[in-house]
Structure 1
């Protein structure tokens, strides 16, 4: 009987074998010490000028061309398949390749246009990548688990293997999108880095010394290399926002119930206290709006019982622009949260926050301090909720093939714990609701101090204490060592409160400016670990981003605010 290692290697080899020989790199990549950045001109050397033109156009520009037949859907699909193949060879970002099916689908779209004289839908010919939680006919969903190979979510003989499709996949097809690959994740999905026993480690293409983030790390890496114009990830503790931030992309974590999650694979399915949500990552805010509007036009609330009936609301977006157009009489107000009270972010993260503050003030808007209810209380609730089943689901999935747990996951789930009782879960849910209410009222109270008569419009905060994680730096910690919980403190509060939050790319690490904090005295062991982990030389050139946080179901407003700031920063299209 094959070992977990042999099964993982066979699966990896079978995926890599789907890359056409003409698209294989001529030789091994130089090490990161010689070529840390494989984006831009480095990957362009393997592409034609026409392929570069297509793949470096954002999703809005692509559909402008494909929905008018200016560009053929097939040519666009082939260009992105080629670039995705190159990206995978450089940073290990794909779990599933179905280029041939995608090119055939694109050919059918071109024939449809010729026959009907119009596009199939608003996303006609738009390539979209998917995190390996989506079920797509004809391909597997392993979610990084060796034991899921050849099964449907770990079970054999269900009749769903390579046949069943997730609800959003159906809707994307109806809109005319081209689906062509599924991207890498950390097995379990519960890590801020992307690593598993099938594909290995997914590196950050801008700086291959660093992590791409997780758990939608393959999406971040692929879109960062422009092997996809827009893709979908999921977020239960930062898993859309962290890869978006680490790769200099725009991304949004919507509130739960805004976009359809029905029929997707997941870890700890049935844990409903903090729901994982699905959302897009892309190179522009316009791309995020495009795909969200498209999906909501499909009325997903008719097919997913957890989706709220909230169509795209142009008026909510327009309210923001109306304030801006009011000139000196109309001010937006942003609250600034520089840290979570546990760790001090690295110098480039603090500089990025300062750049955004100065940009807001230059635009004539206002910044205020943010002193909310304790985030330590929030984090404590988050980690209890993530451990409701004691790790049973994760250990069972890994046990199917007897595979070991990767380090970023084992720091929290390495040892199975006692499961919470129903009464304990009920009590934690009460505490969560009380915390949500307290935070809500604090936000409401800011109306008296903003000078606009409105509460704060959004919060600007770091997504992580670093520009990107170094390997094994994004650990969730253990139950006994709460101070080692590095990454979720600046991201998971959004999940507990179920707020909508978007990523805003700001700058790059500059070793000449972002020097080490000499003489800094860390607050605690976690803060010391973060402080000592900063190396300006190693981090040089990495993307630095912040997040823009709005209240529940304020996706339109959050994207409008992010677009305004992105335009002012000159970062509207990366």
Structure 2
């Protein structure tokens, strides 16, 4: 790679232009210390640059913020300015933003305040709530690069396209209708098909809790920004784990809904037209109830009238109430909830902190009186093969085209191979094989009714999000723990659990103890003496709660309940 490469200079110019949009008053006074000196830039580290009022606002969750802004107790302007300031700091700390449009956001906030002053009522349920967006969403007046240098100054790589800086995604339109304030777009790996976030525009996006590690991908910028509370909630996309992995890596909640519930109309994408595994939009936030707020309010906009692929399926309060009734029964000592536990998929072993996180979840479920069964599903190797074939059906043509627009090289390992594309008949066979696997998994899930004692199958499945905690750069290489959900098109919520601890996640002297089960990868954890364990120290640990297809209301309700109970288990240890 020549230092004089035109694409390299173009990427650097774009990177500088992003920094230039940060007001001088919000720029850090001194260079950021290296990660070897300051790993964790969350909490008190970023707070040192904020006022007490800004901390109060930005460390409230989306539900509490909306409660203040929709009643006029907090103005949209003061909330927007607080999050713009914190987002600016976040970008300087971990490089998580692709686009900054703070001035436009503050002008929008002023209009919201004027509306409230005149009508004594909010525009909608998200009135004055800042919402961040992954850099796939088109926002008027703002470009979308999706991490490609060749997309700079174009509409999805097309020069002179009249939609450039004019197009708005359907979700953007709906968020504006709801009263949300849009102010930034977050970083992604070029192609989107990667578990780490790095590109030739903004470089590497680091994990705020441990800057030696990745923030995940492909919605990595969202995860990093929200972890630093530079956003109360935002939207990413998920085709193989791209919402859930960043959520898990950043100690957040993240929802992967089934396809057909969130509007994807007008969103930039990789391999557009590949319909074997559909990419879906999902929210990320520090609390489960924030996910529910965003999901429910978007559905209130009836997106099925504006996106031909959205199902006419409004938010179902009845499903929420049914789930809550089971929770109340459990609190009264008569649980009828049951869960599957999959400690590993039989393919890729997991790090000790992940094993401990799953054990904490299992202990929590049993403490609450819920039935727990061991998960023995149809082979996940089959799901992995199907996912790989779907992701590689075009032989890498899409990514080669978009990299070729500038001549740039790949900045990260992607889960797409450059090979021969499959034929129409092979595509048909792939779709049949996927459908047959979905049926096998459905039948297995149904069969668990014989084991639960509740009269129905398990209510959800707990399993890892990845074999490792927030990964060391270049070492993400297995997506199977999340991509099986995409093959099945199931609902899944990422939940935070705990943090890697080099003093706890150690190999016991007695090789017979359960902690040394063959699903734990001790060699990888200690591959260079204690170096890896030390590097991972403090990394967030998350798991996922998987539900059946189109069960978002149920899974979000369970995630809020169980997330709180998991926290209690951790606190007592």
TM range, smaller chain? over 0.9
Residue 560 (structure 2) aligned to one of 547, 559, 563: 563
Distance apart, 1:375 and its partner CA: 0.2
Structure 1 equivalent of residue 489 of structure 2: 498
Deviations 1:243-290 (A, max 9, x none): 000000011000000100000000000000000000000011111011
Is 1:489–2:477 an aligned residue pair? no
On the 8 A contact 2:497/2:567 being kept in 1, the answer is no
**Separation of aligned partners in 1, 2:286 and 2:238:** 18
Residue 287 (structure 1) aligned to one of 287, 290, 302: 290
**Separation of aligned partners in 1, 2:87 and 2:173:** 22
Structure 2 equivalent of residue 431 of structure 1: 433
Structure 2 equivalent of residue 408 of structure 1: 413
What's the Cα RMSD here?
A: 2.0
Distance apart, 1:569 and its partner CA: 2.5
**Separation of aligned partners in 1, 2:65 and 2:567:** 21
**Separation of aligned partners in 1, 2:545 and 2:522:** 24
**Residue 530 and residue 432 in structure 1: after superposition, are their counterparts in 2 closer, same or farther (change >3 A)?**
farther
On the 8 A contact 2:63/2:289 being kept in 1, the answer is yes
Structure 1 equivalent of residue 400 of structure 2: 395
**Separation of aligned partners in 2, 1:509 and 1:371:** 27
**Residue 473 and residue 571 in structure 1: after superposition, are their counterparts in 2 closer, same or farther (change >3 A)?**
farther
On the 8 A contact 1:516/1:536 being kept in 2, the answer is no
Q: How does 1:93-242 map to 2 (within 5 A)?
A: 93-242=96-245
**Residue 530 and residue 394 in structure 1: after superposition, are their counterparts in 2 closer, same or farther (change >3 A)?**
farther
List runs of 5+ in structure 2 lacking aligned partners: none
Distance apart, 1:343 and its partner CA: 1.9
Residue 256 (structure 2) aligned to one of 239, 253, 257: 253
Structure 2 equivalent of residue 384 of structure 1: 389
Q: What secondary structure is seen at the aligned counterpart in 2 of 1:407?
A: coil
Q: What secondary structure is seen at the aligned counterpart in 1 of 2:194?
A: coil
**Separation of aligned partners in 1, 2:320 and 2:551:** 9
Distance apart, 1:528 and its partner CA: 5.7
**Separation of aligned partners in 2, 1:394 and 1:318:** 45
**Residue 565 and residue 38 in structure 1: after superposition, are their counterparts in 2 closer, same or farther (change >3 A)?**
same
**Separation of aligned partners in 1, 2:568 and 2:250:** 13
Distance apart, 1:535 and its partner CA: 2.2
Q: What secondary structure is seen at the aligned counterpart in 2 of 1:329?
A: coil
Residue 450 (structure 1) aligned to one of 421, 428, 452: 452
Deviations 1:220-261 (A, max 9, x none): 000000000000000000000000000000110000001000
**Separation of aligned partners in 1, 2:255 and 2:59:** 21
Q: Relative to structure 2, which stretch is displaced further, 151-160 or 326-335?
A: 326-335
**Residue 289 and residue 121 in structure 1: after superposition, are their counterparts in 2 closer, same or farther (change >3 A)?**
same
Residue 546 (structure 2) aligned to one of 527, 546, 549: 549
Structure 2 equivalent of residue 481 of structure 1: none
Residue 278 (structure 1) aligned to one of 276, 281, 285: 281
Aligned residue pairs, count: 559
**Separation of aligned partners in 1, 2:261 and 2:172:** 16
Q: What secondary structure is seen at the aligned counterpart in 1 of 2:345?
A: coil
**Separation of aligned partners in 1, 2:105 and 2:265:** 23
**Separation of aligned partners in 1, 2:163 and 2:507:** 53
**Separation of aligned partners in 2, 1:397 and 1:147:** 7
Deviations 1:527-565 (A, max 9, x none): 965763882211111111110000000001111111111
**Separation of aligned partners in 1, 2:522 and 2:123:** 53
Distance apart, 1:516 and its partner CA: 4.6
**Separation of aligned partners in 2, 1:106 and 1:428:** 48
Distance apart, 1:214 and its partner CA: 0.1
Structure 2 equivalent of residue 308 of structure 1: 311
Distance apart, 1:407 and its partner CA: 3.0
Is 1:513–2:504 an aligned residue pair? yes
**Residue 517 and residue 383 in structure 1: after superposition, are their counterparts in 2 closer, same or farther (change >3 A)?**
farther
**Residue 522 and residue 396 in structure 1: after superposition, are their counterparts in 2 closer, same or farther (change >3 A)?**
farther
On the 8 A contact 1:191/1:214 being kept in 2, the answer is yes
**Residue 151 and residue 291 in structure 1: after superposition, are their counterparts in 2 closer, same or farther (change >3 A)?**
same
**Residue 256 and residue 517 in structure 1: after superposition, are their counterparts in 2 closer, same or farther (change >3 A)?**
farther
On the 8 A contact 2:233/2:290 being kept in 1, the answer is yes
Residue 527 (structure 2) aligned to one of 527, 532, 536: 532
On the 8 A contact 1:147/1:154 being kept in 2, the answer is yes
**Separation of aligned partners in 2, 1:135 and 1:407:** 24
Distance apart, 1:328 and its partner CA: 3.4
Q: What secondary structure is seen at the aligned counterpart in 1 of 2:413?
A: helix
Q: Relative to structure 2, which stretch is displaced further, 326-335 or 141-150?
A: 326-335
Residue 297 (structure 1) aligned to one of 295, 300, 304: 300
**Separation of aligned partners in 1, 2:154 and 2:173:** 21
Q: What secondary structure is seen at the aligned counterpart in 1 of 2:211?
A: coil
Q: What secondary structure is seen at the aligned counterpart in 2 of 1:570?
A: helix
On the 8 A contact 2:40/2:210 being kept in 1, the answer is yes
On the 8 A contact 2:199/2:412 being kept in 1, the answer is no
Q: What secondary structure is seen at the aligned counterpart in 2 of 1:436?
A: helix
